[in-house]
A and B are shown apart, each in its own frame.
Chain A
Amino acid sequence: MFRLENVQKTYSRHGATVTAFQCAEMTIDAGEYVAILGPSGSGKTTLLSLLGGMLSPSKGGVWLGEQSLYELSVTERAKLRRELLGFVFQTFNLVPYLTALENVQVPLCLAGISSNEQQERAALMLSRFGLTERLRHKPSEMSVGQQQRVALARTLVSNPRIILADEPTGNLDPESRELVLNSLTECHREGRTVVMVTHDPVAAKRAGRILQLIGGELRDQGDAYGRRSAA
């Protein structure tokens, strides 16, 4: 599904060049559940942005299926994200002035789906996360756990093939953490590709494969039982 070849992302600041991420080769297959582990500043978010088509690499190429992502225009990549990708953010990133229902409608709105269908699908998705009573609440009127559930509903409402999650459990209490991880496992079981960035080794164990990022370099750690992937 994803293929990275000789990818390097560097930032130049005040004459000094920082390599945020580099890897010679990496593949993530369709339907895989991959966890990316690494300390702070190791380039996890950078990798996720590269996969999401939101950050042009300084060198090398990123392929999604047969498509070289960064040969597409900004608009084409936006459309691709809309159709294929779902993001889960550490800080949920709900739109503060919209209600839970409206927040979940956003991806459908961007896809140009009719208002009625938007509402139906968003309400259904929220009810799956047990938020039927909270449709008209704004993020500021909800608990942290409820906010993350709204965010998950928003990610899944457009039925994306690929889920990219950046520290999805970072801000949560154990119960909510469990719910999020279960949702991601569920997604994986449904056949979606899941890439989760985390610095929590316990959470990473849920994944089928763990990639270790150290100082911007990627190492394959094999699966939770130490088995290395074929790639």
Chain B
Amino acid sequence: MRLPTLVWKELRERPSAMLTSGLTILLGVAAVVAIRHVTVHAEGEVHRQLVALGANVLILPSEATLQDYYAADQSGKTLPEEHVSEVFFAGLTGVEKVSPKLSVPATFSGQPVILTGILPQSEFKTKVAWQSVSMFAPKKHEACQRAKSLTAEPDEAPEALAKNRSIEQLNKNEILVGADIAERTGLKSGKSASLFNETFQVLAVLPRTGTVDDGRVFAHLHTVQRLAGTGEVVNAIEIVGCCEAAAGDLIPQLRKLLPNTKVVTISQVVQTQVGVNRLITKTSWFVLAVLVTIGCATVAGAIAANVRERRREIGTLMALGATPSFVSRMFLLKALWLGVGCGSFGCLMGIGLAMWLGPQWAGVAIQPLPGLSTLAVFSASGLAIVAAYWPARKAASLDPCVCFQEV
């Protein structure tokens, strides 16, 4: 028998005495680990979006509020479609693509989906050709390195919609389906499907993006307008600028051009998300502080109570030759195990919780973060030891004469 055996036997004898403090550590670690996992991944996601959509500008109805870039067209508010042509023919510098969107709720194969109308880029080209000269067409942004003019490079495959946020060709009887919907309905490209009692051809299944786009069905803008009976309106116009600088310059011009709309850059949208994330992060530190305080207090309380009720046992061990350091180690080790055991379990729970709720609440897929998890378990254990320090010291300085006291 060794000191750890002694501690283990005592702990096993009455685990209920440590239940509250164990549970506090467990839930505390779970909460912190879950929150940190979500915020870390959400920050990563924001960064990814910022890189992917860096140069984009959104034109929205003036009343629209904006939380999520990918869901910007789902506010229910509309703009006249003629704004699309106005932007297109204003000859603004640095505009690479103009893609209007109109989203309506629909039922698809018995499932509720978002039906989103988009305008293929080819229609703009036709217009440009019809205008015969590109004098009205958007001008190339001179300073831009990766500049490519609107008419130069076509989007490749229809699947590119997921990444490029625009499509080259789309007939009025064709649709594109998001990854989630394809999975649920088993649809593949080339098959036909019914929407609003009309038959459509599936042009492509879009690759998974991890955004609301996975749950959308895309169709031609004018088809959606006709099916939903909305008239010639759109929810949002997304303008892909050739570069960040161009997007920045576009804002004042677009505001002047379309005074009754809201013009925002992606970075503005993302900034609000960054702000939300910062708030969550701050809150999570606050939660952490509260949990640490409560956790330490309960551990200290539980160990102190343990010391009190084991006074005679401690006195007896001292009479048998236990040194003060042996006695204090008995309680510190107990606290350490509590921290490691409940901390690890809480950590696993937190990761599980984050992986389960992250996609639903923050729209991000969560991968376990080993560094963060290890840190959480280490901190929980360290704090448990710190909390148990004073009660353990008290035990060590106990008068061994208590062993002679009758119960």
Taken residue by residue from 45 to 75, chain B's Cβ proximity to chain A (1 for < 8 Å, 0 otherwise) reads as: 0000000000000000000000000000000
Contacts of B407 in A (CB 8 A): 91
Taken residue by residue from 19 to 40, chain A's Cβ proximity to chain B (1 for < 8 Å, 0 otherwise) reads as: 0000000000000000000000
Which of A96, A109, A158, A166 is close to B1, meaning CB atoms less than 8 Å apart?
A109
Answer whether residue B325 sits at the interface, using C-beta atoms and an 8 A cutoff. yes
Evaluate whether A74 and B324 lie within 8 angstroms (CB atoms) in the complex, with A93-B403, A98-B9, A109-B1 already known.
yes
Taken residue by residue from 147 to 189, chain A's Cβ proximity to chain B (1 for < 8 Å, 0 otherwise) reads as: 0000000100010000000100000000000000000000000
Contact B1 A90 (CB under 8 A): no
The distance from the CB of B5 to the nearest CB of chain A, in whole angstroms, is: 8
Contact B9 A97 (CB under 8 A): yes
Answer whether residue B260 sits at the interface, using C-beta atoms and an 8 A cutoff. no
| Chain A, residue nearest B14 (CB) | A97
Which of B6, B313, B400 is close to A54, meaning CB atoms less than 8 Å apart?
B400
Evaluate whether A87 and B401 lie within 8 angstroms (CB atoms) in the complex, with A97-B13, A105-B1, A106-B1 already known.
no
Q: Quick check: which of A110-118, A202-210, A213-221 contacts chain B, the rest being far away?
A: A110-118
Contact B326 A110 (CB under 8 A): yes
The distance from the CB of A225 to the nearest CB of chain B, in whole angstroms, is: 30
Question: Which residues in window 280-318 of B have CB below 8 A to A?
Answer: 312-313, 315-318
Contacts of B313 in A (CB 8 A): 93, 95-96
Contact B406 A106 (CB under 8 A): no
Answer whether residue A144 sits at the interface, using C-beta atoms and an 8 A cutoff. no
Interface of A is mostly: helix
Answer whether residue A57 sits at the interface, using C-beta atoms and an 8 A cutoff. no
Which of A74, A79, A82, A109 is close to B2, meaning CB atoms less than 8 Å apart?
A109
Contact B320 A115 (CB under 8 A): no
User: How many angstroms from the CA of A91 to the CA of B405 in the assembled complex?
Assistant: 9
Contact A78 B1 (CB under 8 A): no
Answer whether residue B322 sits at the interface, using C-beta atoms and an 8 A cutoff. yes
| Chain B, residue nearest A87 (CB) | B319
| Chain B, residue nearest A95 (CB) | B313
Answer whether residue B370 sits at the interface, using C-beta atoms and an 8 A cutoff. no
Contacts of A45 in B (CB 8 A): 401, 404
Contact B9 A102 (CB under 8 A): yes
Evaluate whether A78 and B323 lie within 8 angstroms (CB atoms) in the complex, with A55-B401, A89-B316, A93-B403 already known.
yes
Which of A75, A90, A106 is close to B320, meaning CB atoms less than 8 Å apart?
A106
Answer whether residue A5 sits at the interface, using C-beta atoms and an 8 A cutoff. no
Task: Tell me the A residues contacting B by CB distance below 8 Å.
Answer: 45, 48-49, 52, 54-55, 74-75, 78-79, 81-83, 85, 87, 89-91, 93, 95-98, 102, 105-107, 109-111, 115, 118, 154, 158, 166
